[in-house]
Structure 1
Amino acid sequence: MIVAFWLSLFIVFYAFVGYGIVLFVLIKIKRVLKGKPVLPDAVNLPTCTLVIAAYNEERFIAEKIQNSLELNYPEGKLMFIFVTDGSTDNTAAIVSTFPQVKLMHKDGRSGKIAAVHRAMTEVTTEVVVFTDANTFLNKDAIINICRHYSDKKVGAVAGEKRVHIDETADATAGEGFYWKYESKLKTWDSELYSVVGAAGELFSIRRELYVPVQPDTILDDFMISLLVTIDGYRVIYEPDAYATETASQNVGEELKRKIRIAAGGIQSILRLKPLLNPFRNFVLSFQYISHRVLRWTVVPFLMVLALLLNIIIVANGVYGIYLLLLIAQLGFYGMALSGLILEAREIKVKIFFIPYYFCMMNYAVVRGIFRYSAGKQSAIWEKAKRQ
Structure 2
Amino acid sequence: MEIVFWISLFIVFYAFAGYGILLYFIIKIKRAVKGKPKLPEPVNLPTCTLVVAAYNEERFIAEKIQNSLELNYPEGKLQFIFVTDGSTDATPEIVKQFPQVKLMHSLARSGKIAAVHRAMTEVTTDVVVFTDANTFLNKDAIVNICRHYADKKVGAVAGEKRVHVDETADATAGEGFYWKYESKLKTWDSELYSVVGAAGELFSIRRELYVPVQPDTILDDFMISLLVTIDGYRVIYEPDAYATETASENVQEELKRKIRIAAGGIQSILRLKPLLNPFRNFILSFQYISHRVLRWTVVPFLMILALLLNILIVANGGGLIYMLLLAAQILFYGMSLLGWILEAREIKVKIFFIPYYFCMMNYAVVRGIFRYAGGGQSAIWEKAKRQ
Q: State the 1:32 CA deviation.
A: 1.2
Aligned to 1:85, the other structure's residue is in SS state: coil
Q: What is the 5 A alignment of 1:117-128?
A: 117-128=117-128
Structure 1 segments, 4+ long, off by >3 Å, are none
Q: TM (normalized to structure 1)? A: 1.00
CA distance in 2, matches of 1:362, 1:252: 14
Alignment partners' CA distance in 1, 2:66 and 2:102: 14
In structure 2, how many angstroms separate the alpha carbons of the residues matched to 1:43 and 1:98?
29
Deviation per CA, 1:118-168, whole angstroms, max 9, x where unpaired? 000000000000000000000000000000000000000000000000122
Q: Tell me the equivalent position of 1:200.
A: 200
Whole-angstrom CA distance in 2 between matches of 1:318 and 1:308:
13
Note the C-alpha offset of 1:96: 0.5
- Which ranges in structure 2 are unaligned for 5 or more consecutive residues? none
- State the Cα deviation string for residues 59-118 of structure 1 (Å, max 9, x = none): 000000000000000000000000012000000000001000000001100000000000
* Cross-structure match for 2:367: 367
Is structure 2 residue 17 aligned with structure 1 residue 5? no
Between the aligned partners of 1:269 and 1:204, the Cα distance in structure 2 is 21
1:354 and 2:354 aligned:
yes
Write the mapping of 1:16-27 to structure 2, written as runs, cut at 5 A: 16-27=16-27
**Distance in 1 of aligned mates of 2:167 and 2:146:** 35
Paired AA for residue 66 in structure 1: Q
Aligned with 1:29: secondary structure? helix
Residue type of the partner of 2:248?
S
| Pairing 1:4-83 to 2, within 5 Å after superposition | 4-83=4-83
1:277 match: 277
Give the aligned CA root-mean-square deviation in angstroms.
0.3
The reply to whether residue 104 of structure 1 matches residue 114 of structure 2 is no
Pairs within 5 Å for 1:109-148? 109-148=109-148
Counterpart amino acid of residue 275 in structure 1: L
Report the AA paired with residue 190 of structure 1.
Answer: S
Report sequence identity in percent. 88
Secondary structure, counterpart of 1:162 in structure 2:
strand
- Matched positions, count: 387
Residue aligned with 2:235, SS: strand
1 CA distance for matches of 2:383 and 2:199?
15
Question: Are residues 1:174 and 2:174 paired?
Answer: yes
Instruction: Name the structure 2 match of 1:95.
Output: 95
The residue matched to 1:75 in structure 2 has which SS? coil
Report the equivalent of 1:288: 288
Instruction: Return the alpha-carbon distance in structure 1 between the equivalents of residues 354 and 170 of structure 2.
Output: 11
Residue 300 in 1 paired to residue 292 in 2?
no
Q: 2:33 & 2:342 partners in 1: Cα distance? A: 50
Q: TM-score, normalised on structure 2?
A: 1.00
Q: Deviations over 1:241-283 (max 9, x none)?
A: 0000000000000000000000000000000000000000000
Superposition pairs of residues 322-337 of structure 1, within 5 angstroms = 322-337=322-337
Matches of 1:50 and 1:341, distance apart in 2:
43
The aligned residue for residue 232 of structure 1 is: 232
CA deviations on 1:22-47 (whole Å, 9 max, x unpaired) are: 10011011111111000000000000
